[in-house]
Copies of this chain bind each other. A is one copy, B any other.
Amino acid sequence: MSGGCPRAPAARLAGIEPFRVMALLARARALEAAGRDVVHMEIGEPDFPPPAPVVRAAQAALAAGETRYTPAGGLPALREAIARWYRERFGVTVPAERILVTPGASGALHLVLAAISGPGDRVLLPAPGYPCNRHLARLVGAEPVALPAEGPEGGPRPQDVRAAGPAAAVLAATPANPTGGVLGRGALAALADAAREAGACLVCDEIYQGLVYEGEPCTALEVAPGAFVVNGFSKYFGMTGWRLGWVVAPDAWAEPLERLAQSLYLAPPTLSQHAALAAFEAESLDELERRREAFRARRDFLAPALESLGLRLAAPPAGAFYLYADCSAFTDDAEALAARLLEEAGVAVTPGADFGGTGAAVRLRFAYTTSLERLREGVARLRAFLRRA
């Protein structure tokens, strides 16, 4: 074949694992297409639409023809709005120049890792954790090093960071996927100290910020003003498919990050940026706080229900919209159990293998991104299935 690509997919791609949840979701959709009812507890996407002002702002921007390129770092007005958000909600002063708007929090994580790490560098990251972290570290040539993150601290422990030795970056996430663990200010400050001792930048993924059910949200910037903080509009703000995130960078890094952004993705999507300006309006925030209460009610039902079934929670379920449960009472192969739960009980959950860590083979992640009524139905099905199993 003329011009056929003579190369096979590179060995480096063999280490990039697919999300197991995607195959499971595809199978769930196939079962539904065949008439089966499936309770979806696998999806890491809020079931709420974006707040009404966000949709109206997008409509207005469309009507006004606001669909041209923006600067690589985002619309100045949106960078200012995010700076105001940190000031008013968290009492933290961050100049807008240190905030870069990105294509999703994924874009922000990638941008930061590409900037601060490369060949010969080690990146310490929580396991279990968001599966893309280790792939992104490898893609920029760095070596991901997993640290345990399932304990009550809700993240990597300072003593593990110290024991791991020199590193370019320490990743933390709060609230965390998949455990729902939350790092308090004290834990974040201790982690920042340990990172500095390791010569590493602290990168804190706060994409589930706002979704906490004990106390009020915080940011690593309150105690570690020099951290890289990654966030976005997908989870708390309910704007998943809009692909819009941001990073707060230490002062010296903002300019090189913007240069890098030009090459990596040119600019974030324009309509999404205009829409996101409305995410901070009072009407939006009121709606988002009502949703936080709805998530809390779901958690308050689901956590004890799973425990009563013998699915013990691996961490205190303080935030995000996930529960990470130990299923070792029933199996030593959570992936096989998840497959059977879908096929035999019509309940879709995510096996721990997507998230890594030593316990992954006997963990299941339950997302409460569906209604209380459907969660009740899911638990009833689980109960019947586990009784038979």
Binding site for B on A (CB under 8 A): 1-10, 12-13, 16-19, 22, 45, 49-50, 55, 58-59, 62, 65-72, 103-104, 106-107, 110, 114-119, 131-132, 135-136, 139-141, 168, 188-189, 192-193, 195-196, 199-202, 220, 223-228, 239-243, 250, 252-253, 256, 259-260, 262-272
CA–CA, A212 to B69, complex, Å?
A: 23
A269 with B250: CB separation less than 8 A: no
Question: Could you tell me the distance in whole angstroms from the C-beta of A110 to the nearest C-beta in chain B?
Answer: 6
Closest 7 CB pairs of A and B: A3-B224, A3-B192, A241-B270, A4-B226, A135-B263, A5-B201, A132-B263
A12 to B, closest residue via Cβ? B118
A105 to B, closest residue via Cβ? B266
Assess A58 versus B271: contact at CB under 8 Å? Given A18-B262, A253-B5, A263-B139. yes
B62 with A49: CB separation less than 8 A: no
Please name all residues of chain B whose beta carbon is closer than 8 Å to the beta carbon of A3 when the two chains form the complex. Answer: 188-189, 192-193, 195-196, 202, 220, 223-227
A141 to B, closest residue via Cβ? B141
User: Which of B50, B66, B72, B140 has a CB less than 8 Å from the CB of A139?
Assistant: B140
- The interface centre, meaning the residue of A106, A140, A252, A268 with most chain B CB atoms within 10 A of its CB, is A106
Please name all residues of chain B whose beta carbon is closer than 8 Å to the beta carbon of A104 when the two chains form the complex. Answer: 265-266
User: Which of B67, B136, B227 has a CB less than 8 Å from the CB of A264?
Assistant: B136
A106 with B241: CB separation less than 8 A: no
A267 with B241: CB separation less than 8 A: yes
User: Which of B110, B240, B260 has a CB less than 8 Å from the CB of A13?
Assistant: B260
CA–CA, A141 to B141, complex, Å?
A: 7
A7 with B168: CB separation less than 8 A: yes
User: Which of B58, B107, B115 has a CB less than 8 Å from the CB of A62?
Assistant: B58
A240 with B201: CB separation less than 8 A: no
B269 with A241: CB separation less than 8 A: yes
CA–CA, A270 to B114, complex, Å?
A: 25
- The interface centre, meaning the residue of A66, A69, A168 with most chain B CB atoms within 10 A of its CB, is A69
A107 to B, closest residue via Cβ? B265
A201 with B242: CB separation less than 8 A: no
A202 to B, closest residue via Cβ? B3
Please name all residues of chain B whose beta carbon is closer than 8 Å to the beta carbon of A259 when the two chains form the complex. Answer: 13, 16-18
CA–CA, A284 to B369, complex, Å?
A: 38
Can you list 23 A-B contacts with CB-CB less than 8 angstroms, sorted by A residue number?
A3-B193, A3-B196, A3-B220, A3-B226, A4-B196, A4-B225, A5-B228, A6-B199, A9-B256, A13-B115, A22-B71, A49-B67, A62-B62, A104-B266, A110-B265, A119-B119, A135-B263, A136-B263, A241-B267, A243-B243, A243-B267, A243-B269, A243-B270
Assess A265 versus B106: contact at CB under 8 Å? Given A2-B193, A260-B16. yes
A260 to B, closest residue via Cβ? B16
A256 with B13: CB separation less than 8 A: yes
A189 to B, closest residue via Cβ? B2
A264 with B17: CB separation less than 8 A: no
User: Which of B4, B19, B132, B265 has a CB less than 8 Å from the CB of A250?
Assistant: B4
CA–CA, A131 to B132, complex, Å?
A: 28
- The interface centre, meaning the residue of A3, A195, A202, A243 with most chain B CB atoms within 10 A of its CB, is A3
Please name all residues of chain B whose beta carbon is closer than 8 Å to the beta carbon of A66 when the two chains form the complex. Answer: 241
CA–CA, A2 to B193, complex, Å?
A: 7
Please name all residues of chain B whose beta carbon is closer than 8 Å to the beta carbon of A114 when the two chains form the complex. Answer: 139
Please name all residues of chain B whose beta carbon is closer than 8 Å to the beta carbon of A269 when the two chains form the complex. Answer: 103, 241-243, 269, 272
Please name all residues of chain B whose beta carbon is closer than 8 Å to the beta carbon of A67 when the two chains form the complex. Answer: 49-50, 239-242
CA–CA, A16 to B272, complex, Å?
A: 27
